[in-house]
């Protein structure tokens, strides 16, 4: 089989030399044909197409160092980008990482960040192919993920049609519950509350479900990063349809012990977190009604004629995360 290649510019090592410190100690996946050490990496692309996604994480906006250690930040930064690739039906192959670091950042924090990237990449057989670094007043991470479609068509947001069902794989509500607990300064000694906080610090995307959905014939799919209502709104708009959700279908998420415990502790509405919280990086997809969905896919609604997203019999106050609000 002919393996095509793509050349990814990853910059030089920067004044601190920390990119070599990071990438030099991470295992390289099969897709990385030439890793760190040159001006660019070379990545194998057997399909001839490369799925690419990129995200920025800025200290104080997307994470706080007093709430999350370097390991947590590394896992989260890798997860949110790998999940975007999986949401296209692609297999994640590698990451390219840009770092802005304060001069006084402890070396131990950087080592923890490295371990976080390594462990999250290992869950999907991906690796860090290279990157660049510069001095910055805050910790800033720019992460780009690449993936291989394996001969499958990409699953976009525009294929949902009336009559299709809407299903979710992964967790919903834990990250929002954990963030609410941290924001309120609530002690989290109870195991369920600690698990909710862990869900905020380290999301667990259902990576394999992305490829599975593509093989099952998913008509549209995305990563739930900004809240289910807001993200399904992107599918509704791109597909020219209306998405109708059944609140009763979300019981497995609202009754999830960490979510339910946090809601009880704070007197909050668990369904609000499930529908609007974001950052769990679950996958949401539309499927033809005749498709038999295996676990962990769970049907939560349907696609109809019209526009927008609604929840039967419910008014939801917060619709999702807005980066400019």
Please tell me whether the overall predicted TM-score, pTM, comes out greater than 0.95 for this model: no
Alpha-helical regions (H) of 13-93: 18-23, 70-86
* Nearest CA among 299, 300, 283, 306 for reference residue 161: 306
- List beta partners, residue 54: 144
Look at residue 316 in the predicted model and tell me its pLDDT. Answer: 57
Coil, strand or helix: which one is 272? helix
Look at residue 33 in the predicted model and tell me its pLDDT. Answer: 79
Q: Which stretches of the chain score pLDDT less than 70?
A: 1-29, 313-325
Confirm if 5 and 44 have CB atoms less than 8 A apart: yes
CA distance 142 to 81: 10
CA distance 70 to 202: 11
Residue 239 neighbours by CB distance under 10 Å: 22
CA distance 250 to 263: 15
CA distance 28 to 36: 10
Residue 106 sits at φ, ψ, to 5 deg, of: -60, 140
Angle between helices 70-86 and 207-216 (to 10 degrees): 10
Query: pLDDT tens digits, residue range 61-119?
Result: 899 999 999 999 999 999 999 999 999 999 999 999 999 999 999 999 999 999 999 99
* Nearest CA among 71, 107, 85 for reference residue 31: 85
CA distance 261 to 38: 50
Query: pLDDT tens digits, residue range 41-77?
Result: 888 888 889 999 999 999 998 999 999 999 999 999 9
Residue 56 neighbours by CB distance under 10 Å: 14
Look at residue 43 in the predicted model and tell me its pLDDT. Answer: 83
Residue 209: CB partners within 8 Å, gap ≥ 6?
86, 169, 170, 283, 296, 297
CA distance 155 to 213: 9
Sign, CA dihedral 99-100-101-103, equals positive
Q: What is the DSSP string of 159-172?
A: ---TT-EEEEES--
Structure tokens of 265? 């502790």
* Nearest CA among 155, 281, 285 for reference residue 232: 285
Domains and CATH numbers, the chain: 13-148 (3.30.1330.10), 165-311 (3.90.650.10)
């Amino acid at each position: 089989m002919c393996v095509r290649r793509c050349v990814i510019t990853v910059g030089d090592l920067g004044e601190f030399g920390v990119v070599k410190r990071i990438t030099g100690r991470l295992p390289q996946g099969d897709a990385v044909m030439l890793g760190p050490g040159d001006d660019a990496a070379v990545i194998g692309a057997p399909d001839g197409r490369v799925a690419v996604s990129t995200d920025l994480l800025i200290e104080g906006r997307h994470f706080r160092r007093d709430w999350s250690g370097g390991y947590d930040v590394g896992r989260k930064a890798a997860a949110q980008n790998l999940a975007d690739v999986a949401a296209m039906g692609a297999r994640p192959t590698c990451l390219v990482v840009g770092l802005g670091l304060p001069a006084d950042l402890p070396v131990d924090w950087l080592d923890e960040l490295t371990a976080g990237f390594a462990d999250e990449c290992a869950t999907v057989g991906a690796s860090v192919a290279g990157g660049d670094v510069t001095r910055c007043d805050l910790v800033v991470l720019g992460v780009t993920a690449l993936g291989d479609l394996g001969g499958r068509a990409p699953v976009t947001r525009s294929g949902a049609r009336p009559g299709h069902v809407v299903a979710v794989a992964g967790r919903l509500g834990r990250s929002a519950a954990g963030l609410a607990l941290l924001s309120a300064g609530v002690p989290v000694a109870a195991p369920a509350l600690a698990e909710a906080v862990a869900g905020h610090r380290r999301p667990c995307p259902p990576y394999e479900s992305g490829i599975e959905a593509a093989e099952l014939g998913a008509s549209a799919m995305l990563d739930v990063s900004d809240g289910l209502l807001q993200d399904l709104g992107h599918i509704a708009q791109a597909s020219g349809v209306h998405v109708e959700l059944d609140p009763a279908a979300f019981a497995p998420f609202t009754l999830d012990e960490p979510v339910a415990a946090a809601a009880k502790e704070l007197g909050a509405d668990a369904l609000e977190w499930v529908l609007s919280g974001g950052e769990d990086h679950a996958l949401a997809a539309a499927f033809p009604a005749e498709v038999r969905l295996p676990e962990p896919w769970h049907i939560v609604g349907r696609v109809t004629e019209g526009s927008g997203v609604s929840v039967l019999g419910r008014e939801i106050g917060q619709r999702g995360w807005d980066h400019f609000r």
